[in-house]
Structure 1
């Protein structure tokens, strides 16, 4: 292996004994990566990532055949577009991700325009 091949990358992991082990931590340092343990009792990030991957598999990868890497890339882009424009998110009041982003952007712009500077 090449030393510092992963320089600048941050490796997020849980607090399990495998990830805290000196050998594992030494390997991360050798590769030039930074260890970033998750907060104790807050594994939600991992479960959210696993849910997204499961949805992607069930809705796209297991139901379509991609003969080339380019076809897969296009399929992933189409899936992302469909998800962002039509999938309703219950936790955000049954709005699409694009609607949610637009509202957040509007709030951020509104907050920025309300900020008055002294001349």
Structure 2
């Protein structure tokens, strides 16, 4: 892994998360998301400033999470999936506290 790349992601406040050995399917999800971003936004618009790009990315992410139906999750949006996961986590945490 490139030292320059590692420094850049630390600068951006990100954490490196390499794929597991012999399990490339984890990268497939991320790569498909990047492809969608490119096809739906980056390859179809020109951005005059970094701030314009930043705002467009934030808008795209909000719309994607609220409206994009994911087949692999039963045609639900990312926001719906996260809400269900949070509810399960809350239920599990509450159940754990009651049992303790």
State the match for 1:93 in structure 2: 74
| Distance (whole Å) between structure 2 residues aligned to residue 50 and residue 117 of structure 1 | 41
Choose which of 48, 52, 62 in structure 2 pairs with 1:67: 48
Tell me which of the two structures has the higher relative contact order, counting C-alpha pairs closer than 8 angstroms and 6 or more residues apart: 1
Partner of 1:26: none
Q: 1:71: Cα distance to partner?
A: 0.1
1:48 deviation in Å?
2.1
Q: Does 1:82 align with 2:63?
A: yes
Counterpart-to-counterpart distance in 2, 1:101 and 1:55: 20
How many Å separate the matches in 1 of 2:67 and 2:16?
33
Higher mean C-alpha displacement, 108-117 vs 83-92? 108-117
Question: Residue 21 of structure 2: which of 39, 55, 58 is its match?
Answer: 39
Normalised by the length of structure 1, the TM-score is 0.65
Q: TM-score, normalised by structure 2?
A: 0.76
Gaps of at least 5 residues in structure 2 are none
Computing the radius of gyration over CA atoms, which structure comes out larger, 1 or 2? Answer: 1
Greater fraction of residues in strand: 1
Q: Choose 47-56 or 68-77, whichever is displaced more.
A: 47-56
1:46 & 1:102 partners in 2: Cα distance? 24
Give, in whole Å, the separation in 2 of the partners of 1:109 and 1:67: 44
